[in-house]
C-alpha cells in the first residue's frame, strides 16, 4: 500500500513569535528558517509583512529555501475592494511562495469583532484568495475560531472554509484559536469537514490550552486532515502551539502513522531533532526543557536499579523508541539510590570498560554516595560523574595543576567618576615544567576566574578554544548545620556537544572553580589531548 503525503507547516516565526518574552531579530528569523528548511518542513511561515519592520524586511528579499516560504496576513477589509486595500496590497507584494490568509469562521465574531455581515465576510475570503492566486501565489486560509464557530453554527463555519477551497485555495486550515477543543471533538468535526472538502486540502492548527495540541493534531489526521501546523518546542502565546518536535517523531516512529504517511523529514534529519530543539532554546537564551518528550535530557533517563539492569540487557524493555532515532541519548542516572548496576550501566554508556567484580567499582559507588550526601547531584552533572569515575579508575591524565588563584572584587570610581565594580582574577598554572600566570577581568568573580583559567593552558590551549559556558546555576543547600553552595555549569564545544559539571563548597568561588576545572578536564579527555 502506498503511503499518503502528510504536510508540515511551521509557524514558529509567526505564531511562535507571539510568545511572551520572545522577540526574534531578522538574523534569528533567517537562521531558524534555514534550520526548519534543513529539517524538511514543507512550509515555513516567516511572519506578517507590513505588521512590523522585521517582517517587512524579511519579505523584502527573496530566499533560497526548499521550503514553501509563506507570508501571513488578513483577508481584505470589509467594505473595501481587494484592489483598494493597502494591507492586502503589501501582502501581495511580499516575496513569498505562498500566502496564508486569516479569516473569521465564527458568525458571532463576524458580527461582533468584524462588525460586518456574514455574506461580506465570505466575499472577503473569495476576493482575497482570488487576488493572491492571480499573483501566482499558493494560497492557504486559516479559519480562525473554526471549532468554536462550528459548534455555534456549523453551516457558516463550513461555508467560510468552502468559500476558500472553491476559489482555489490549496489549503483550508481549521484553527482551534482558543485551544479549548478536545481530541474527540476535533476528530468528529474534522471528519465532518472532510465530507465537504477533500482531506488533502485540510489542515489543523491547534493551540495547547488543554495540553492537547499534539493529540488534537493527530486526531485531525486520523479524521482526514493532511496538513499539520505547529511550532518548534511548542512555542506560542499562552500555553503554546502544537509542538512539532513531538509530532514529527510520532509520525515517523509510531507504526499507525509511519505506515500510512510520508512526511518531508528524512530519517537522517530526524536524528538532528534534539539538536534543532536545543538550538532554538539557545537562540532564545533559555534552558531546554529537561523533560521534553523525545528530545529532553531526561526523556530516556532511568534511575531505579532494576530498570537500569534491565536496560543494559535490552534497552527496549524501558524505552518506547530508540533515543538515537531522534538524536537523543540513553542516560542511566547515578544517584543516592544507585546500585552497582546503575554505575556499571552508566560506565558502559560513556564507553568505560569495567569488570563488575573490580573492587574500584564498589569504591566509586561509595564515593558517589558520600558526595551526594555532601550536596553533589551527579544525575544533573554527567560530565562530573564521568570525571569522578575516570579518576577513581585511574584513567585521567594530570594535564595541568592550578597552583594558586586569586580573585579580587573592587568597587571604586572610574575615570569618569562613575561607581563601578571591577573583578580581576589571577591564576597560576603549571603545565608540564612550564609555570604560567594569567590574569583576566570579568563581569563577576566566576566570569573573571573562568577567563583567566582558560586564557593560557599552554600546549592544551588549542583543545579548549571552542569551549564556552552556556549556563551557570547556583543553589544554596542547607545540609545539617551549615549552608553549602552547589554550582552547576553547562558547557558547549565547537561540535555543539553539551555537558554539565558540578561543584559544591561553602564558598561559591571554590564551588565554581571545581565545576570549571571538571569542564576543562572533561573537554581535554573528550578531545583525547595527549598527557
Contacts with Zn ion by CB under 5 A lie at 15
Provide the 10 A C-beta neighbour count for residue 110.
Answer: 26
Strand ranges, E, within 298-400: 301-302, 331-332
Specify the residue, 15 or 85, whose C-beta has the smaller distance to Zn ion.
15
Residue 202 or 299 with smaller CB distance to Zn ion: 202
- Quick one: 15 or 386, whose CB is closer to Zn ion? 15
Q: Specify whether the CB–CB gap between 402 and 428 falls below 8 A.
A: yes
Q: Which is nearer to Zn ion, 67 or 208 (CB)?
A: 208
Cα(476)–Cα(481) distance, integer angstroms: 13
**In the block, residue with C-alpha cell 469537514:** 193
**Distance in Å, CB of 520 to Zn ion, minimum:** 45
Q: Are 356 and 344 in contact (CB under 8 A)?
A: yes
Q: Which residues contact 6 (CB under 8 A, 6 or more apart)?
A: 221, 226, 227, 228, 251, 257, 261, 262, 263
DSSP bridge partners of 429: 402, 436
Residue 229 Cβ, how far from Zn ion at the closest point, in Å? 8
Look up residue 409 and give its three cell numbers. Answer: 572584587
Least separation in angstroms between CB 370 and Zn ion: 52
Report helix, strand or coil for 473.
Answer: strand
Q: Which is nearer to Zn ion, 100 or 248 (CB)?
A: 100
| Smallest separation (angstroms) from Zn ion to the CB of 201 | 19
Whole-number Å distance between alpha carbons of 165 and 140? 9
The residues near 173 (Cβ < 8 Å, ≥ 6 apart) are: 9, 100, 140, 141, 142, 143, 202, 203, 204, 205, 227, 229
Write down the least CB distance from residue 473 to Zn ion, Å: 33
Q: How far is 463 from 443, CA to CA, in rounded Å? A: 25
Which one, 143 or 269, has the nearer CB to Zn ion? 143
Residues in the chain, how many?
A: 531
Question: Which residues of 368-455 form beta strands (DSSP E)?
Answer: 401-413, 419-431, 434-442
Please, what is the minimum distance in Å from the beta carbon of residue 512 to Zn ion? 43
Q: Minimum CB separation from Zn ion for residue 130, in Å?
A: 25
Question: Cβ 55 to Zn ion, closest distance in Å?
Answer: 16
- Between 146 and 385, whose beta carbon lies closer to Zn ion? 146
Nearer to Zn ion, 103 or 525 (CB): 103
Cβ nearer to Zn ion, comparing 18 with 275: 18
Residue that the C-alpha cell 552497582 belongs to:
340
Is residue 490 classed as helix, strand or coil in its secondary structure? strand
Q: Which residue has the CB atom at the shortest distance from Zn ion?
A: 15
Sheet with 401-413, edge to edge strand ranges: 401-413, 419-431, 434-442
Query: What minimum distance in Å lies between the beta carbon of 1 and Zn ion?
Result: 34
Amino acid at each position: 500500500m502506498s503511503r499518503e503525503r502528510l504536510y508540515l507547516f511551521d509557524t514558529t516565526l509567526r505564531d511562535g513569535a507571539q510568545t511572551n518574552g520572545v522577540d526574534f531579530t531578522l538574523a534569528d528569523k533567517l537562521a531558524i528558517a534555514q534550520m526548519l528548511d534543513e529539517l524538511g518542513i514543507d512550509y515555513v511561515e516567516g511572519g506578517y509583512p507590513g505588521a512590523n519592520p522585521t517582517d517587512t524586511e524579511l519579505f523584502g528579499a527573496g530566499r533560497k529555501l526548499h521550503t514553501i516560504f509563506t507570508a501571513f496576513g488578513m483577508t481584505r477589509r470589509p467594505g473595501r475592494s481587494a484592489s483598494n486595500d493597502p494591507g492586502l496590497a503589501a501582502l501581495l507584494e511580499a516575496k513569498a511562495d505562498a500566502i496564508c490568509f486569516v479569516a473569521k469562521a465564527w458568525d458571532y465574531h463576524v458580527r461582533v469583532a468584524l462588525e460586518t455581515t456574514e455574506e461580506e465576510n465570505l466575499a472577503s475570503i473569495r476576493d482575497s484568495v482570488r487576488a493572491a492566486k492571480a499573483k501566482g501565489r499558493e494560497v492557504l486560509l486559516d479559519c480562525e475560531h473554526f471549532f468554536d464557530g462550528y459548534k455555534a453554527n456549523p453551516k457558516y463555519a463550513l461555508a467560510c472554509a468552502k468559500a476558500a477551497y472553491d476559489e482555489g485555495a490549496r489549503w483550508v486550515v481549521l484553527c482551534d484559536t482558543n485551544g479549548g477543543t478536545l481530541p474527540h471533538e476535533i476528530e468528529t468535526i474534522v471528519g465532518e469537514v472532510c465530507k465537504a472538502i477533500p482531506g488533502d486540502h485540510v489542515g489543523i492548527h491547534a493551540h495547547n490550552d488543554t495540553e492537547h495540541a499534539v493529540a488534537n493534531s493527530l486526531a485531525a489526521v486520523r479524521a482526514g486532515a493532511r496538513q499539520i501546523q505547529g511550532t518548534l518546542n511548542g512555542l506560542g502565546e499562552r500555553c503554546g502551539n502544537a509542538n512539532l518536535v513531538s509530532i514529527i517523531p510520532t509520525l515517523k516512529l509510531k507504526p499507525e502513522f509511519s505506515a500510512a504517511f510520508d512526511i518531508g523529514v528524512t530519517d537522517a534529519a530526524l536524528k538532528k531533532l534534539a539538536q534543532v530543539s536545543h538550538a532554538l532554546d539557545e537562540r532564545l537564551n533559555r534552558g531546554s526543557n529537561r523533560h521534553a518528550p523525545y528530545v529532553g535530557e531526561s526523556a530516556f533517563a532511568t534511575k531505579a536499579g532494576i530498570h537500569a539492569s534491565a536496560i543494559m540487557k535490552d534497552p527496549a524493555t524501558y524505552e518506547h523508541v530508540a533515543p538515537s532515532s531522534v538524536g537523543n541519548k540513553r542516560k542511566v542516572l547515578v544517584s543516592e539510590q544507585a546500585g552497582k548496576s546503575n554505575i556499571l550501566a552508566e560506565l558502559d554508556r560513556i564507553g568505560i570498560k569495567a569488570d563488575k567484580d573490580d573492587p574500584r567499582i564498589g569504591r566509586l559507588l561509595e564515593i558517589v554516595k558520600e558526595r551526594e550526601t555532601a550536596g553533589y547531584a551527579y544525575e544533573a552533572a554527567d560530565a562530573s560523574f564521568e570525571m569522578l569515575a575516570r579518576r577513581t579508575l585511574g584513567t585521567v591524565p594530570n594535564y595541568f595543576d592550578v597552583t594558586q588563584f586569586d580573585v579580587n572584587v573592587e568597587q571604586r570610581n572610574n575615570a569618569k567618576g562613575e561607581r563601578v565594580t571591577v573583578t580581576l582574577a589571577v591564576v597560576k598554572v603549571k603545565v608540564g615544567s612550564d609555570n604560567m600566570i594569567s590574569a583576566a577581568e570579568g563581569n563577576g568573580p566566576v566570569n573573571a576566574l573562568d577567563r583567566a583559567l582558560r586564557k593560557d593552558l599552554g600546549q592544551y590551549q588549542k583543545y579548549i578554544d571552542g569551549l564556552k559556558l552556556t549556563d551557570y546555576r547556583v543553589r544554596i543547600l542547607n545540609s545539617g548545620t551549615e549552608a553549602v553552595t552547589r554550582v552547576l555549569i553547562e558547557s558547549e564545544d565547537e561540535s555543539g556537544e553539551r555537558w554539565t559539571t558540578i561543584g559544591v563548597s561553602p564558598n561559591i568561588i571554590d564551588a565554581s572553580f571545581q565545576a570549571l576545572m571538571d569542564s576543562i578536564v572533561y573537554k581535554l579527555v573528550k578531545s583525547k589531548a595527549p598527557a
